[in-house]
Structure 1
């Protein structure tokens, strides 16, 4: 076990929670009608067209520096997402927004876990949902209540 003391652990986990939001909390905020942030899909155009979270704005990471200041007020908090835990695109997008002076969080799990939890995505055929994946989401109910 490492030499980290409780103060270091508190600082580390507090910082993580300040910079990340999970898909369940993101979904609940969006469903409230007043989420308090703009959700940004930082994936490619092809990925966006394949499926995206309803209500998200599409702004590929490579275009954030160029386009964000004209699209989103700097006082507006941002939540970024990409494919999933195996992709660091949302992290890179969050960094780009932070470097521009935005308050930003990363939605951990990305669109993969959004879909796995049974939340709707917009596809070319219209809104689509799947049953929650019982290996990654509660079998009954849309929240793990953690």
Structure 2
């Protein structure tokens, strides 16, 4: 009889799974969900690019503000609006800049989520980017690509 590799560790109960997955969704946002909120002008959401100013200038999520994680301190974070939810991102899954930025924000008492896959997944999904020092805004003509899920 062949044993199951999947069932070697039995699944949680439905209630335990629901609680775990709800919590997981509370920690992360994906590119499509963030794009939808930015396109709709949801003011409670602020995207923060945690990369260097040079990387931000080369291309960033439309509307995102540049706030490198290396410059986040109690003093620099004090200027942020505590009523907002901040979505941090960096280059992608191989970079932990968004995690470091999210940790600093959370430690300072801010609500935060991380963008799954960072700018890499954002670009793969075909969402618009801005260049230069200014955050830019969502292009009015930009349509949201179909997420497919």
TM class, shorter-length: 0.7 to 0.9
Q: Secondary structure at the match of 1:27?
A: helix
Alignment correspondent of 1:67: 76
Q: Deviations over 1:26-66 (max 9, x none)?
A: 00100002242111000011211111111111000011223
Alignment correspondent of 1:13: 21
Indicate which of 111, 116, 123 corresponds to 2:124: 116
1:1-146 equivalent positions in 2, closer than 5 A = 1=7, 2-6=9-13, 7-65=15-73, 66-70=75-79, 72-124=80-132, 142-146=145-149
Unaligned runs of 5+ in 1: 128-140
Superposition RMSD on alpha carbons, in Å? 1.8
Would the aligned equivalents of 2:44 and 2:83 in 1 still touch at CA under 8 Å? no
Q: Secondary structure at the match of 2:106?
A: helix
Q: Structure 2: how far apart are the matches of 1:81 and 1:144?
A: 19
TM-score, with structure 2 as normaliser: 0.79
The list of structure 1 runs, each at least 4 consecutive aligned residues, that deviate by more than 3 angstroms after superposition, is none
Which structure has the higher relative contact order (CA within 8 Å, separation 6+)? 2
Report the structure number with the largest CA radius of gyration.
Answer: 2
Tell me by how many angstroms 1:3 deviates: 4.1
Q: Structure 2: how far apart are the matches of 1:35 and 1:118?
A: 23
- Structure 1 residues 39 and 52: alpha-carbon distance in aligned structure 2, compared to 1, 3 A threshold: same
Number of residue pairs matched? 130
TM-score, with structure 1 as normaliser: 0.80
Tell me by how many angstroms 1:145 deviates: 4.0
